[in-house]
Structure 1
Amino acid sequence: MDILIRWALFLLAAVLLAFLLEKRTEKERYLYMKLVFYACLGSVSFPVYDIQLPLGIILFLIVLHPQKNSRYKRYMALFGFLFFLLQLFAGPLDTFTVREETQQIGRVMITDQSFHHLLSQIEKRVGDESLRLEQSELLFDQGGNLRNATFEVIAKSPKRFVRYDISYQEITGTITYRPREEVLERSLETYYQKLIDASRSFDTLRQLSIKQILHDSKTPYVEMDMDGLYETFSLQDATVLLIGDQGELIPYVNTGEDVLANAIRLTYLRADGQSLREKKILLYNYSFETSRRKGVVR
């Protein structure tokens, strides 16, 4: 549940509870507002490293000693403290927006809308604005049948990062979603910021001219690997193509300048699983202004 919704429900409950308790109390000026205040005080916390201390309830028990209607004010402070505990335990649980599960999707052709549907299903299950791609691997045959696919992505919550493993298997026609690891936010923030948005990579896959890749392939299978890191490429080691705005593949004329980009690597596989030496690198989200950006290495 969104944190703003939780707080709105808490304030509404505090107001209603204060209204009910006020009828049982001694007369006191501004009592209604004081009861709501003590509820809010009890919910206040203070972060110390990765620990949230219940500062509000500590202040109430040690510093504040209301004389009039003290029992009811204590009830409200404890109500706020219970909300603090709910926040404490509900926060990490909220990061698991997807439990391990399997979804039936059927046969997927990488050249038609069934592949777009697969990507859309992934975005619906774990996709949001925070979702970023670590890496993915797709294996398809010369006829365009997607044999298997894996995606490793990271989602960000207010306090945690959660890594997800997502896989598709042609044999079963299913997608499997599996939360793999939960990491404290500050320990992964720098790495996370270097990754590309998963939605941008998925849009590239949707637009990519797969038919051109299949037409140029001399082997029964093609393996497509994507890396979410924004890297510097020297463009010396392999055949390099740029992915245009419409998904077309544009031969890159090497001018000697490095390029900063995200990459899709193509490996051509024979029927026995052995790969050809020939490999291609497809670049997208690229920039040629690398001379101004120091400290980025491949």
Structure 2
Amino acid sequence: MDFLIQWSLFLLASILLGFFLEKRTEKEQYLYLKFVFYACLGSVSFPVYDIQLPLGIILFLIVLHPKKNSRYKRYMALFGFLFFLLQLIMGPFDTFTLREETQQMGQVTITDESFDTLMTHIDRRIGDDSLRLEQSQLLFDQGGNLRNATFELIAKSPKRFIRYEVTYQEVTGTLTYRPREEVLTRSLEVYYQKLIDASTSFQTLKTLSIKQILHESKTPYVEMDLDGLYETFSLQDATVLLINDQGELIPYVNTGDDVLANAIRLTYLRSDGQSLREKTILLYNYSFETSRRKGVVR
């Protein structure tokens, strides 16, 4: 359940419970607001490493000792504490959390609409604005048939990150979603902020001129690796092409400055699985500012 919805329902329940208890108490100024305060206090927690300590209820029991209507104020604090416990229990079941599941896709050709459909299914199924790409790998043949693909993605909830692995296998024609792990938000925040939005990478793949790549390939298979990190590249000795807004590949004119970009690395594979030494780097989402000015370290 969304974080704001949880708290809205909690506050509404606290107000209703306070209204009900107020009729049973001694007269006290601002009692109604005090009830809501004690409920909120009981729900307060404090993170220590990966553990959430119930700081609010501890303060109430040790520090605060209300003399008037103490029993009912204790009820409100305990109600807040129950909300804290409920958050711990319900935490792993955020709305965008997936159980492992499989979706039938059939054969996918990377040069036609079936590939666009594949990418759209992934984006919609995990479907969260926070979704970012860690890395992915696609293998296709000279005919454009997608043999297999793996996407490693991160989605963010108010309190944690959830890593997903999405795989496609040509043999079965299936797309499989697997939640891999959950990590507290603060543990991955800096790394997460350096990753590209998954939708941006998916859109790049959809518009990329795959036919141009296949036409220039000298081997039966091409492996395509995407890294979600926005990196600094020194391109003195690499074969580099830029992906323009239309998905076309254009030569990179080396000016001597580093380039900030997301990269797609192409590896050319022979039938026996051995790779050629020749590799190509395709850059998208790029900036020609120097790394020193941008403050990014490779």
On whether the aligned pair clears a TM of 0.5, the verdict is yes
Aligned counterpart, 1:18: 18
How is 1:46-57 mapped onto 2 (pairs within 5 angstroms)?
46-57=46-57
Change (3 A) 1:26 1:253: closer
Is 2:148–2:168's contact at 8 Å kept on the other side of the alignment?
yes
What percentage of aligned pairs have identical amino acids?
84
Does the aligned pair in 2 maintain the 1:92–1:159 contact within 8 Å?
no
User: Contact 1:101 / 1:178 at 8 angstroms: preserved in 2?
Assistant: yes
**Backbone CA RMSD of aligned residues:** 2.3
The whole-number CA distance in structure 2 between the counterparts of 1:290 and 1:30 is 60
Provide the C-alpha distance between the structure 2 equivalents of 1:294 and 1:29, rounded to a whole number of angstroms: 57
The equivalent residue for 1:148 is: 148
Task: State how 1:118-137 maps to structure 2 within 5 Å.
Answer: 118-137=118-137
1:95·1:161 contact (CA, 8 Å) conserved in 2?
Answer: no
Secondary structure of 1:118's aligned partner: helix
C-alpha distance in structure 2 between counterparts of 1:165 and 1:293, whole Å = 35
Matched-pair contact (CA < 8 Å) for 2:233–2:258: yes
**Kept in 2: contact 1:43–1:80 (CA 8 A):** yes
- Please say if residues 39 and 78 of structure 1, whose CA atoms lie closer than 8 Å, have aligned partners that are also in contact: yes
| Deviation for aligned residue 1:30 | 4.0
1:238-277 CA deviation, whole Å, 9 max, x = no partner? 3211101110110123333332221111122222222233
Residue type of the partner of 1:149?
A
Q: How many pairs does the alignment contain? A: 298
User: In structure 2, what is the Cα distance between the partners aligned to 1:276 and 1:241?
Assistant: 18
Q: Decide whether aligned partners of structure 1 residues 25 and 176 sit closer, same or farther in structure 2, where only a CA change above 3 A counts.
A: same
1:226 paired residue number: 226
2:97 maps to which residue?
A: 97
Alignment partners' CA distance in 2, 1:30 and 1:257: 66
- Cα distance, 1:222–1:28 mapped onto 2, change above 3 Å: same
Provide the rounded CA distance (Å) in 1 between the counterparts of 2:186 and 2:36. Answer: 34
Q: Counterpart of 2:85 in 1: which secondary structure?
A: helix
Unaligned runs of 5+ in 1: none
**CA–CA distance in structure 1, aligned partners of residues 63 and 190 of structure 2:** 41
Between stretches 176-185 and 277-286, larger displacement belongs to 176-185
Q: 1:44 to 1:291 in 2, by over 3 A?
A: closer
**1:187-238 deviation per Cα after TM superposition (whole angstroms, max 9, x unaligned):** 3333222222211111111111112112222322211111112222232333
- For 2:40 and 2:240, the matched residues in 1 are separated by 60
CA contact (8 A) 1:165 1:178 kept: yes
Partners of 2:237 and 2:286 lie apart in 1 by 18
SS at match of 1:12: helix
1:255 aligns with 2:279: no
The match for 1:284 is 284
Greater CA drift, 62-71 or 189-198 = 62-71
Paired residues for 1:256-275 under 5 Å: 256-275=256-275
Q: In the alignment, what sits opposite 1:173?
A: 173
Tell me, yes or no, if the aligned pair for 2:260 and 2:291 is still in contact at 8 Å. no
Which moves more between the two structures, 211-220 or 142-151?
211-220
2:73 maps to 73
Question: Normalised by the size of structure 1, how large is the TM-score?
Answer: 0.89
Q: C-alpha displacement at 1:50, in angstroms?
A: 4.2
Does 218-227 or 143-152 show the bigger shift?
218-227
The one-letter code sitting in structure 1 at the alignment partner of 2:137 is E
Aligned to 1:87: 87
Structure 2 length-normalised TM = 0.89
Q: How far off its partner does 1:165 sit?
A: 1.3
CA–CA separation in structure 2 for the residues paired with 1:280 and 1:149: 19
| SS of the residue 2:245 aligns to | coil
The structure-2 alpha-carbon separation of the partners of 1:144 and 1:291, relative to structure 1 and needing over 3 Å to count, comes to closer
Does the Cα contact within 8 Å between 1:95 and 1:156 map onto a contact in 2? Answer: no
Offset at residue 289 of structure 1 (A): 1.6
For structure 2, which runs of at least 5 residues remain unmatched after alignment?
A: none
CA 1:291–1:228 in 2, change beyond 3 Å: closer, same or farther?
A: closer
1:231 maps to amino acid: E
Whole-Å Cα distance in 2 between the matches of residues 48 and 126 of structure 1? 30
The 1:65/1:255 distance shift into structure 2, 3 A limit, reads: closer
